[in-house]
Amino acid sequence: MLNIGFIGFGEAASQISLGLSKNATVNIFAYDILINDPEKKPVLQERASQYNVTLCSSIADLMSQVEIVFSTVVASVAEKVANETVPYLKGTHIYVDLNAITPGMSERIAQIVEKPGAVYVDGAMVGSLKALKHKVPILISGEGVDILAEKIEPLGFNLSIVGKKPGTASGNKLIRSVFTKGLAALLIETLVYAKKLGYYDVVLESMIKTLKADPADLIGRLVSGTMLHSQRRIGELTGSQEMLEDAELESSMIKATLSVLKNVNCLDVDHSEISTDIESSIELLSLYKH
């Protein structure tokens, strides 16, 4: 029987626990600071009961029960929480930080956790928790990755080892977030303004057709096409900006995109060397600076 625990029993811990709730080979424990809030405690207890989780009264109580502990709080307090576990960490503990922390913070937390002899793993979830529960793809890095994988992959965890240096997993996630969060912002501005200006149906249909392309081919064409035609695209997007300004609308995404296009346009790139191969294009863009 494997005993795992969560510090912080919010969405991440709840969804992972829900996915594991019917697994008879694991016991799940959790501690959340809200356990000390008379108004929030009943809600916490109800959720724990639904997901077959045993609530602990303190970090000390939690650490005495578990072998693997996941930190699922928020990035701003992740380092503080790690320090609070130090008096209770032993060499038998595996400490997994699943917060959206920076590589630098991950390295600091690794030093905190490893000082008393515990094993540290930097973890980064890169999928839909609500849909996949504990099977959400998780990038992991740190010296303890092999030990962690051996213990929890049989439970259905979907782990990808990306390195032995703490912070590698977190760094990968944060760079990926530039795309995922940026794409969401771009979609929101495009569709909201398309709706306001009466172009919604045609624009949405066109976007959907574009996104149906093979992903690798689409990325390659978008990057290489921008390198080849940056000047023309600057002109077109400037027209987009003027149209929105005439409608008294302002687009943060247009401003940001124009900045990128202008930087690409300033690069001395031999057009004869440009291809739709993604890595080759990025190599040619190695001098790019925002």
Are 41 and 159 members of one domain?
A: yes
pLDDT in tens, 164-193: 999 999 999 999 999 999 999 999 999 999
Are 111 and 177 members of one domain?
A: no
Q: Are 90 and 116 in contact (CB under 8 A)?
A: yes
pLDDT in tens, 91-137: 999 999 999 999 999 999 999 999 999 999 999 999 999 999 999 99
Q: Give the CATH number for residue 269.
A: 1.10.1040
Are 82 and 207 members of one domain?
A: no
Are 84 and 186 members of one domain?
A: no
Token representation of residue 64: 């005495």
Q: What local confidence, expressed as pLDDT, does residue 290 receive? A: 56
96 within a domain of the structure (yes/no): yes
Q: What local confidence, expressed as pLDDT, does residue 109 receive? A: 98
Are 91 and 230 members of one domain?
A: no
CB atoms within 10 A of CB 41: 14
Last residue of a domain, one of 164, 198, 216: 164
Are 192 and 266 members of one domain?
A: yes
Are 133 and 196 members of one domain?
A: no
Token representation of residue 28: 């799940």
Are 211 and 84 members of one domain?
A: no
Q: Are 230 and 261 in contact (CB under 8 A)?
A: yes
58 within a domain of the structure (yes/no): yes
Q: What local confidence, expressed as pLDDT, does residue 236 receive? A: 96
Rounded Cα distance between 157 and 133, Å, is 9
Is the pLDDT reported for residue 269 higher than 70?
yes
Host domain of residue 264? 173-284
Are 6 and 141 members of one domain?
A: yes
Q: What local confidence, expressed as pLDDT, does residue 276 receive? A: 86
CB atoms within 10 A of CB 155: 15
pLDDT in tens, 15-47: 999 999 989 999 999 999 999 999 999 999 999
289 within a domain of the structure (yes/no): no
Last residue of a domain, one of 129, 144, 164: 164
**Mean pLDDT, residues 237-266 taken together:** 95
Rounded Cα distance between 264 and 60, Å, is 54
Q: For the chain, what is the domain count?
A: 2
Q: Are 290 and 260 in contact (CB under 8 A)?
A: yes
Q: Give the CATH number for residue 145.
A: 3.40.50.720
Are 127 and 59 members of one domain?
A: yes
Number of H helices, E strands in the chain: 12, 8
290 within a domain of the structure (yes/no): no
